[in-house]
Amino acid sequence: ETGVTQTPRHLVMGMTNKKSLKCEQHLGHNAMYWYKQSAKKPLELMFVYSLEERVENNSVPSRFSPECPNSSHLFLHLHTLQPEDSALYLCASSQEMTGLASSTDTQYFGPGTRLTVL
Amino acid sequence: AQSVSQHNHHVILSEAASLELGCNYSYGGTVNLFWYVQYPGQHLQLLLKYFSGDPLVKGIKGFEAEFIKSKFSFNLRKPSVQWSDTAEYFCAVKGTGGFKTIFGAGTRLFVKA
């Protein structure tokens, strides 16, 4: 148990559906992240939130919409997705964002949501 | 732009063999370096990390990694692998002063019993 939970663990949706992924961290961290993990590709950073403010949007299409209502919860709202969006979506948290070498930059990952878009 | 290259996508070893997984990064400034591991069916978790000081870093389960700044490398080593080390290993780099951690594509290690 890493202290980061994600629901649902599996999701199958059609291209016209709207769904949301949820992430919750129980570690008292201030920063949260969404990553996309596709087969045979490096882990891709999608969004970063620090103290509930979005600090990074890594050129992600607008059909993915993040929401961070507080420092413990992070959502990823999905609408009109494409089959190529099928992947494992990972949430992570870290104690804080820093610009200096710091042990607080270590990220703790959730189990992921396996998304299939039909 | 930052990038991370892991040299081997798949490695197969017998138990007790020595392991070295290569990782090279591209970044001009000061970096934080990580190795993460994902065991079958489990979360991605931190194996070890380098921030400053001794470039030889020791992590969990007998793993170590050496930061060689002149070679932009952070190779992972273990003198004697076990069947339970079967997993996927990811090297990651974060430039200080930035927000992004860049991951390599991963190396799948299979250890034969």
pLDDT in tens, A11-20: 999 988 899 9
Q: Please, what's the b/e burial string for A49-60 (b: 16 or more CB within 10 A of its CB; e: otherwise)?
A: bbebeeebeeeb
Residue B86: beta bridge partners?
A: none
Q: B43 and A103 in contact by Cβ < 8 A?
A: no
C-alpha of B81 from chain center: 15
Residues of chain B in contact with residue A92, where contact means CB-CB under 8 angstroms, are 44
pLDDT value for B97? 67
**pLDDT above 60 (res B8):** yes
User: Which residue of chain A has the CA closest to B97?
Assistant: A99
**pLDDT above 60 (res A47):** yes
Task: Assign A105 to helix, strand or coil.
Answer: helix
- Tell me what the mean pLDDT of segment A28-35 comes to: 92
* pLDDT band at residue A102 using 50, 70 and 90 as cut-offs: low
**pLDDT above 70 (res A10):** yes
**pLDDT above 70 (res B58):** yes
Chain A contact present for B5, CB below 8 A: no
